[in-house]
Chain A
Amino acid sequence: MATQTESELKMAQLLVDALNLEDMEAEEIDPEDQLFGDGLGLDSIDALEISLAISKEYGVQIKAEDEGTREAFKTLRSLTAFVEENK
């Protein structure tokens, strides 16, 4: 597993809390694993929950129609980088 940075760990904790991920600790989310589909197994409702949690925590709005959104939601690493860039 790739090593999490401090900001990735904070984002991982947001995911665990917002999505109520069962039996999973924030430290266990590989920053380079796919969040959706085969990786963590998240789905479209989770994407909405993540957007809401990020908007409340970081004040960053993620819009479904924006070009960068699909790329941002790929991994914990890309999501954290997207939020850092848009804060």
Chain B
Amino acid sequence: MDIKKSNRKRHLDTLLTATTWTFAVLTLTALMFIVGHILINGVPHLTPSLFEMRWTTENVSMMPSILSTAMMVVITLCLVVPLGMFTSIYLVEYAKKGSRYVKVIRQATEILAGIPSIVYGLFGSLFFVNFMGLGLSLIAGALTLSIMVLPLVIRTTEEALKSVSDGFREGAFALGSGKLRVVFRIVLPSAVPGILAGVILATGRIVGETAALIFTAGTAPNIPQNLYGSVRTLAVHMWSLSGEAFHTNEAYATAVVLLLIVLIINTVAAAIAKALNSGRIK
């Protein structure tokens, strides 16, 4: 019996193994290179002047943008979380399975999820900024972003609601609860971690977004007086800076801050999701 490998076969195996490893290492390298490059060039330039409360053309402080980003996040979440949550409550708890409404809604959210952010920017500038007369403003930006992240919030909340054991629902119904009480007292509290993970993911999207904001919230570098003032979030600030030849170091430093904020947000979301899957939170 001949059980030795033929050379041809062995070559193919080696080739496939080598390619797979190489490409996997390439993926890892790409990430480490991008993150590493920005950290190495940015961290040394994180000077106190970059965190002054007022932006000037000299200090190009990112502090106002950080605060504006926080405002943008809060306002957008205030708009989108209730809306997304109620939508998923409808889809999971109320709608009949396979109803036409559900199909239409699901299709709509899928299309919304696929729309490029620049189209949201375009729409926002047409509808919120001009048609509704909000101007380039915090509120126009937040409204635009809330439509943009709505599909994400709906999907994650839906998953969270679906993962709540039917035993809880049955138990509550059997005790004479109406549907509302079951939803608000039993289902939602159990789904909080999953919903939270979705909200944090949405926060990441908002913080990282640029294209949808340039033509809706504008680029005013300081903190706005009110909802109708133009703002520049950190990502938009990053974009403005990178267009200026004289502020490369500051741009690197700003990139470090933006990158860290987004990475921390995503890591937290991932950690919650992981804990959920492994059943530590239930």
Q: Do the two chains bind? A: no
B interface vs A, CB < 8 Å? none
